[in-house]
Structure 1
Amino acid sequence: MTGVKTGERSAALPRGIQGAADPNFACTLRGFAQLFPGRRYGGGALSIYLHGEPVVDVWTGYSDRRGTQHWTADTGAMVFSVTKGMASTVIHRLADRGLLDYDAPVAEYWPEFGANGKARITVREMMQHRAGLSHLNGCTKAELLDHQVMEDRVARASVNKLLRGHQAYHALTYGWLMSGLGRALTGKGMRELIREELAEPLETDGLHLGRPSADAPTRAAQILAPQGTLANPIFNFVAPRVAALGVSGMFGSMYFPGMKAVVQGDTPFLDAEIPAANGVATARSLARMYGAIANGGSIDGQRFLSEERVAQLTGTPSYWPDRNIFVPLSFNLGYHSLPVPPGLMPGFGHAGLAGSVGWADPSSGLAFGFVHNRLLTRMVLDQATFAGLGALIRRDAARARKRGYHSVPDQGAPFTKVPRPAAG
């Protein structure tokens, strides 16, 4: 914990920003504040850990579409594909207990998965998005919202021979592949595993799969998304036919009838278990999880992952474009890096649709979580926002290491077990 001072001294926060931050991160705070200039721009939160110590924990803006409810210390956002990093971390915790080997066939643990020529696909290949199982293959909305149906579907599916062995982003199926594996190993679904394997040992309430229980301190922010219900009959006719093509790429891995409706209104998407996309997380909880990884696997003196496990999580950079999204992401054991441009964001983690992110750089001990509730809004560069914030964070973190820095208090609710309906 190089440079940590035991006292707590917060920077003067920009107008409208709540929370606390070490003074070295003033530039980062100004950049964060500029992302939320008014009620129509929603809200968000940013948390930063350095060598296992929280140095920034701030939030701002509004958690509802009308701009009447302020973001709070326990507001979480649906973080879309950031959820994949959460599900992957669960699997690494199970691997640490000797329950699986990355180079063993998935079917060794989940026999049903071996159907239709998949008996030799390994856990490592699946976590690298190389299993050739990215397409939804015509599933309905009702099927997609039933996690056990989807686990069965991916177990019975045939591989796409054009994608098998190549990195091809599994936009939604990755989550059910992880939950199916986790269930085979433990008998528990991914919603329960995220609470037991992540939230509880990290002592934070801010990690959930789907909508947090009414008894939980964490509250999911409303998504700012187009709320219009006007149908487009041409799109509705063409879309399923295009998605059914083996060469439909990202569209085939994401499209299902009613995909717009599930993020409107009260967000029906949150009432399912979609471990690739519908996690609800606070920035603090993401930063804490990745902060443990960046700190050699421990946090607050507690072992979260073994040092040996953490050492395996940094992959070799690859500049080959992903076959579904056509940009290099260098997936390794469930997390991606950003190899292009070199040096922009060292480390690894997972970004989500619209730009929420959880990130760790074990080489420098730096980790951060950034979440917000915008989707398809006037802030058209949201998807790349985390990269710009990352550059500011790295610069301020370098200053903090040089000058010394202060930790900030934990302002969110700790983990508490709340009753849940029996998992299906």
Structure 2
Amino acid sequence: MNRRVNVIGVGMTPFIAPGAGGRYYDLAAEAGRLALQDAGIEYRRVEAAYAGFVYGDSLSGQRGVTELGLTGIPIINVSNHGASGSTALYLARQAIEHGIAECVLAVGFEVSPPEWSRHRWQDCESPVARHAHGGADTLVTEVPIVTQLFARAAREYMQRYGARKETFAMIAVKSREHAALNPYALHRQPLSLETVLEDEVCTPLTRLQYCLPASGAAAVVLCSDEFARKHGINDPVYIAAQAMTTDLPGSFSEGSAIRAMGYELGFAAARDVYERAGIGPEEVDVCELHDGSTASEILLYEALGLCREGDAEKLVEDGDNTYGGNRVINPSGGLLSMGHPLGATGIAQCAELVWQLRGTAANRQVPYARIALQHNISIGGACVVTMYRCD
């Protein structure tokens, strides 16, 4: 049984800096209440819940979701690092699509420690540690592995296609321009190109070209067509296709940081989605992608088929990633400006795209948006790509 899966409610808390307050279960419950209110249904109508998070214990999902009520429903905990929220969404979508439930909730939340890279892997090896072997460009222990991988991927791209370091910096400038219109974003102050190029962390990337941790929550209510009809919900946004990929044979091969940071995962998942939906990348109006760094965004333009390989620099310089171009990428500001509460990010992306397709994104609205693409990844590794549409 493969049924259409509708998105009938979304909710999000404003993202805040680590240590700025908020308990994870309060944030999760607030996002859940907002999503239920948006859907116009009571919590007792929800038949299952899927909770994505990273910094928590095995019952954090139960603690957060039961703040909405004690109804005895299954609550499934999902911890998949940066892709936790989108993995919860993936499982929730399957429950509706295959007739397991008529209405489900997916929620992602995080109260991030201030220095996530130094706190997460104290008693075991990081899942990305295998990338540290490097090759000619060996990684060093003083800088987090993922930080170095992003910079190494940028250098690899520059050597391959002759791209300029200024092009990567332009992504951070664009991110802040979009975030200035988003009340949910943590970093909303405008940036000049000159400011972005200051304070290099790892050549050629600077401090402002990496996303930073945040705390926050987001939630989404999914349902079947029959449920939507019974509750008077007309023409909802729906999931046209969705795919998940995990590490491929080339993901950990020596010599390519571009592969190591998930290029092939995004490429494979996106092609699967386009085929399932019968919709090509040229038809995408708006996209939220996982910009862990400016290098990530540049490379994902090509991995997701939004331009040909080697043409990402031209896409940026032509303004085809922002308002007035062929499509708008990360109208929310993306992770670079929203901040990255690991478990919440994937569902926050969903919320932004649903608002865009409904035409309710206020002064950041993408005109006439009907097809939306979402990309969320955890390096080392899982990637979820989702396409939404509104008829």
TM-score relative to the length of structure 2? 0.26
After TM superposition, the score normalised by the length of structure 1 is 0.25
If you compute each CA radius of gyration, which structure gives the higher value, 1 or 2?
Answer: 1
Q: Which has the higher helix share?
A: 2
